Amino acid sequence: MMSDRPRSHRDLALSRREFIHLAGASLALAGLDGCTRMPAEHILPYVDNRPELTPGVGEYYATAMSLDGVATGLIVESHSGRPTKIEGNPEHPASLGASGPLEQASLLQLYDPDRARFARSQSTPTSWEVLAAQLAPAALRPRVGARGAGLHVLIEPTSSLLDEELLARVIESHPDAHIYMYAPLVGDRGAHGIVTHYDISAADVIVALDADFLSSGPFHLRYARQFADKRRLAQPTDAMNRLYTIESGFTPTGAAADHRFAVRPSDVAGIARSLQSALNGGTAGPPWLAAMARDLRAHAGRSVVIAGEHQSNSVRALADSINDAIGATSRITWRAPTPLIGEHVPVHSLTELVAALRTRAVDTLIIVGGNPSYATPAPFDFSVLLRSVPNSGYVGLYENETARDVRWFVPMSHYLESWGDTRAYDGTVSIVQPLVNPLYRSTTSAEVYAALAGMGLVGSYDLLRSSWKRRGNAEAAWGDALQRGFVAGTQFARAESEGRGSTVEGPGSRVAATSNPIDVLFVADPKVHDGSFANNGWLQELPAPLTQLTWNNAALLSPTTARRLGVGNGVHIALTSNARHIELPALIVPGHADDTVTVHFGYGRAGAESLARGVGANAYDLWPSTGVRFLSDVAITVSSKTSALALAQTQETMEVREPVRHATLDEYRAAPSRVGRRPGRALSLYPEIPASERSATQWAMTIDLATCIGCGGCVVACQAENNIPIVGASEVRNAREMQWLRIDRYFAQRETEVEALLQPMLCQHCEKAPCEYVCPVQATTHSNDGLNEMVYNRCVGTRFCSNNCPYKVRRFNWFDYNKHLSDTEMMAKNPNVTVRERGVMEKCTFCVQRIREAGIAAGREDRPLRGTDVRTACQQACPTNAIVFGSLNEPDSEMVRRREQPRSYAALDDLGTEPRVRYLARIRNTNSEIAGAKHDGGAR
């Protein structure tokens, strides 16, 4: 039909017949498509949606985190099968919905790139399965003896019923084996029987005797809530509780106190004795003691003395007798069994293990968790002893100091990727359920004990389920426990109220026998705890409460002591005791007790943790024995070395302006409106936004400075929620930290006392924002619902907005802080929030991603969005509910009701920025009989 000659278009005319031929042939040929010889590979579309799983929408699972063996219930948000944000579990007694910095930051620990990934035997890679076979009783008996006398297991404090059950089986299998339990902050006391509980909500007057009960210790989140609930002051005439804090360092409990007395650690026992005698009419002790005793007595039945957990037995006994005298016993404070295991399995102390090691009676030592080569008192020389053990093994999260001293090592699973169980301080049992499959070839403590007990390789889930059944729980209750995060009705009943504390005499503290007047106080670090969190960037970069120190520990001392020694900030001082010494840079803390130096545990790490290595000095090197709270025979020498401290804030006073308003309760009641005085409306070129352009919800926030204790949970929560990067010590020294929320801290002298004024400072979302009109590219705009928006992809980085922000809450990406993240660190990022690149500004957005998510949910459910539907990350973490967020158009909401208190004010309100964040002035319920009650230059 076709010829080769080119034709003109007229020649291509087809006849009808030819056309039908062609059409038919094409149609037939089309069918040849089907004649493929490729194998069929079927893909399936994701039509089978689980109704509860929508990509992009988070799921929430309850679990619990165990710190020093005691649980805090958590709800963890999970995206695409991995956890991205931790919140408190509102129904759990230890959390009541709140979470502290350690809980918030534990998420990052799961994704820590320095975590150990492989098991090894010496330096040969191996696997848990191989090592488990070597732990089976049959394999171990030749080494440890028929009754297992050579088998020793050192564990972290735990309250896990499963672990206890399995350890009991290990003992059955090896009757002469020894189990030891140790953590530096739990010491050797908690394993034995009885602990003290408090009901802070029943107390009107509280004396904290070297007890940081508001921000550390088990149940601190709960106590903080109970404490704050009695200080809401909705009306000036409302009642308010009163807290006296007697302490050496400056803790959040000291900052929250109405009266804070700085006392040397060696004087605490004397104070307790004087207080007891004062209650009986004695006059010994400092001038304020008598007034405090009178106050306690006047509120008998509603007053309590809390002695810190690390106090000696004698001090605790004194506190007990005082509580008896003022009627607090069994009403406000009572005894209960410890949640830590030890009832069904004999548990020994570290001292006994060291003795066994020294006599070379240890053949096999298995260390599960903790870091004893680092976190033990220096005289024990644990690292050296450990290296001499013939068969030593360690199960841990990192290849740390302990891992270096053992023969074989297995990575441990993080709690967010493990099955297990744990108990809260009051005994409430929680199931720990994983949110992601273990990232690495790791194992859990339960699996290790199961192998030791001869059960072979059994997974934690199976162990837990069978244990659950064996405990007599119904199968239906399992689902309930997983869903709610705890098992109802498992809290302990109270123990005998006459219990005089533990039966083991704590080693107490060395009594001063020399003329050297400096005490050294050993304290857990509020950020890295005992060192377990040293590799956590969020915590290292969190400005320490009250000191604002990051990426280091320091020798904290008072201004007077510093002057006497001739040191300034950053000057190194060496502390020597019994031929051991450490060297630390000095940091002056107003209000710190004189002639005292506070050192924090947890620094001076030397393991594989890259962030922690070389940061700070190891205070364990100076620690003489477990349970020692302070040393009195310490020699101090000033070194010529200095280091620059990475302080997030260097100013100690408010200087020119007064962003934190404060008054005593008496002053407030006398003139309520003077505290929250508002200047007249400043003239502004800003046009008023017409009502038609305002949406129904107008977001705002109220922060109560009377209940903020400065714990820093909100800061880490914000960092976790909003993908805020860490920048490192040298950048912090150059004021380039990235946290959107910071806690400003000012000191004020009150005659003999020093008051700390804390103020969480975040973007104020000003209605007349000074940052908006200066941005040349309109990268910061105002939304209809009152948010000051930051448009990252429009920002060119002129930083004019930061210059014009009087609150300096805007942060700039000076470098590519997010560029060199490991794969696992990227998994920690919240997928609902942009990760900002170099050169753009960022700042608090009032968690706009949560607002919009709630708005979408409301739209789907066809109802208006309520202010109470949204909780910002900072609000959700705060243990005292100091931060409340909501809509201005809901006059009945908590946020608006607080805002209308007479003591509410806006920071820097005379600048005319009209912020949406209001602060409630800090009110101290002072005792007028005590000298520091007057506010010199307080509310003017």
What is the C-alpha to C-alpha distance for residues 107 and 416, in angstroms, rounded to an integer? 8
Instruction: Count Cα atoms within 13 angstroms, Cβ side, for 122.
Output: 2
Strand partners, 364: 151, 391
Pick the closer one to another protein by CB: 582 or 743: 743
Confirm if 246 and 254 have CB atoms less than 8 A apart: no
Cβ 805 to another protein, closest distance in Å? 9
Are 73 and 91 in contact by the 8 Å Cβ rule? The answer is yes
Contact 63, 432 (CB under 8 A): yes
Nearer to another protein by Cβ, of 483 and 730: the residue is 730
- Candidates 94-102, 129-137, 791-799, 919-927; binding stretch for another protein (CB under 8 A): 791-799
The least distance separating another protein from the CB of residue 544, rounded to whole angstroms, comes to 15
Tell me which residues in 806-845 interact with another protein (CB under 8 A): 806-808, 810-816, 837-841
- Per-residue contact string for residues 482-501; x = within reach of another protein by CB under 8 A: --------------------
Interface residue with another protein among 454, 800, 834, 890 (CB under 8 A) is 800
Whether 834 contacts 790, CB under 8 Å: no
Q: In this chain, which of 560, 798, 849, 868 binds another protein, going by CB under 8 A? A: 798
User: Is 803 among the residues that bind another protein (CB under 8 A)?
Assistant: yes
Neighbour-count burial for 622-631, b at 16+ CB within 10 Å, e otherwise:
bbbbbbbbbb
Binding mask 196-215 for another protein (x = CB under 8 A): --------------------
Sites for another protein among residues 838-857 (CB under 8 A): 838-841
Between 651 and 928, whose beta carbon lies closer to another protein? Answer: 651
CB 843 to another protein: min, Å? 10
The first and second tokens of residue 25, run together, are 């042939």
Q: What residues does 151 pair with on adjacent strands?
A: 364
Give, as ranges, the residues between 645 and 684 that touch another protein (CB under 8 A).
Answer: 649-651, 653-657, 659
Instruction: Tell which positions 746-765 bind another protein, by CB under 8 A.
Output: 746, 759, 761
- Identify whether the C-beta of residue 874 lies closer than 8 Å to the C-beta of residue 718: yes
Q: How many residues bind to another protein according to rule CB under 8 A?
A: 54
The phi and psi torsions of 303 (rounded to 5 degrees) equal -130, 155
List strand residue ranges (DSSP E) for 135-291, in order.
151-155, 178-181, 194-198, 205-209, 242-247, 259-262
Query: Looking at 69, 285, 728, 770, which residue binds another protein (CB under 8 A)?
Result: 770
**What letters, b where the CB count within 10 A reaches 16 and e where it falls short, cover 4-31?**
eeeeeeeeeeeeeeeeeeeeeeeeeeee
| Stretch binding another protein (CB under 8 A), from 34-42, 297-305, 358-366, 769-777 | 769-777
Residue 783 in the binding site for another protein (CB under 8 A)? no
* Shortest separation between residue 389's beta carbon and another protein, angstroms: 48
- Residues 904-933 contacting another protein, CB under 8 A: 907-908, 911
Quick one: which of 285, 201, 290 has its CA closest to 241?
201
Can you read off the two tokens belonging to residue 898? 């607080």
250 binds another protein (CB under 8 A): no
Decide the pairing of beta strands 788-790 and 429-432.
unpaired
Interface pick for another protein out of 318, 795, 844, 877 (rule CB under 8 A): 795
Q: How far is the CB of 736 from another protein (least distance, A)?
A: 5
Q: Which of 776, 860, 861, 892 binds another protein (CB under 8 A)?
A: 776
The least CB distance from residue 547 to another protein, in Å, is 14
Q: Which is nearer to another protein, 570 or 839 (CB)?
A: 839
**Rg of the chain's alpha carbons, rounded to an integer?**
31
Q: Is 689 in the site for another protein (CB under 8 A)?
A: no
Provide the minimum distance between the beta carbon of 905 and another protein in the complex, in angstroms, as a whole number. 15
221 contacts 99 by C-beta, under 8 angstroms = yes
Burial of 287 (0-12, 13-18, 19+ CB in 10 A): exposed
Distance in Å, CB of 715 to another protein, minimum: 14
Q: How far is CA 918 from CA 242, 433, 806, 851, in A?
A: 24, 39, 15, 19
In this structure, the number of other CB atoms found within 10 A of the CB of residue 390 comes to 12
Shortest CB 932 distance to another protein, Å: 23
CA distance 468 to 488: 14
The residue written with tokens 């009419």 in the block is: 281
What is the DSSP track for 227-255? HHHT---SSTTS---EEEEEESS--HHHH
Sign of CA dihedral 470, 475, 480, 485: positive
Per the document, the length of the chain is: 940
* Closest distance of CB 343 from another protein, Å: 49
Instruction: Look at residue 878 and give its three-state secondary structure.
Output: coil
Min CB(802)–another protein separation in Å = 5
CB of 8 to another protein, least distance (A): 47
Q: Which of 14, 130, 355, 777 binds another protein (CB under 8 A)?
A: 777
> To the nearest whole angstrom, how small is the minimum distance from the Cβ of residue 735 to another protein?
4
668 versus 812: smaller Cβ distance to another protein: 812
From 143, 404, 736, 934, residue interacting with another protein (rule: CB under 8 A): 736
Q: Does 22 bind another protein (CB under 8 A)?
A: no
* Of residues 483 and 803, the one with the C-beta less far from another protein: 803
Question: Quick one: which segment of 461-469, 515-523, 737-745, 921-929 binds another protein (CB under 8 A)?
Answer: 737-745
Q: How far is the CB of 548 from another protein (least distance, A)?
A: 9
Q: How far is the CB of 685 from another protein (least distance, A)?
A: 9
Q: Is 744 in the site for another protein (CB under 8 A)?
A: yes
Asked whether the CA dihedral 77, 88, 758, 896 is positive or negative, the reply is positive
The rounded distance, in Å, linking the Cα atoms of 911 and 692 is 27
- Whole-number minimum distance, CB 480 to another protein, in Å? 47
Binding-site member from 508, 797, 866, 897 for another protein (CB under 8 A): 797
DSSP class of 643: -
Structure tokens at 824: 């696992």
Taking the CB of residue 783, how many other CB atoms lie within 10 A of it? 16
**Which of 802, 824, 849, 868 is close enough to bind another protein by CB under 8 A?**
802
Per CB under 8 A, contacts with another protein among 113-152 are none
Q: Which stretch binds another protein (CB under 8 A): 15-23, 144-152, 502-510, 728-736?
A: 728-736
Q: Which of 734, 752, 784, 928 binds another protein (CB under 8 A)?
A: 734
Smallest separation, CB 705 to another protein (Å): 14
The SS3 call for residue 932 is helix
**Minimum gap (Å) between residue 16 Cβ and another protein:** 52
Nearest CB to another protein, comparing residues 130 and 735:
735
User: For residue 88, what are the β-bridge partners?
Assistant: 74
Residues whose CB falls within 8 Å of the CB of residue 33, separated by 6 or more in sequence, listed in order:
none
Query: How far apart are alpha carbons 722 and 658 in whole angstroms?
Result: 30
- Answer for the pair 231, 532: CB distance below 8 angstroms, yes or no: no
Which residues contact residue 368 at a Cβ distance below 8 angstroms, ignoring those fewer than 6 apart? 153, 154, 155, 156, 394, 395, 412, 445, 448, 449
For 201, list phi and psi in degrees, rounded to 5: -70, -15
Contact 307, 322 (CB under 8 A): no
Q: Which residues bind another protein (CB under 8 A)?
A: 649-651, 653-657, 659, 731, 734-736, 742, 744-746, 759, 761, 770, 773-778, 794-800, 802-804, 806-808, 810-816, 837-841, 907-908, 911
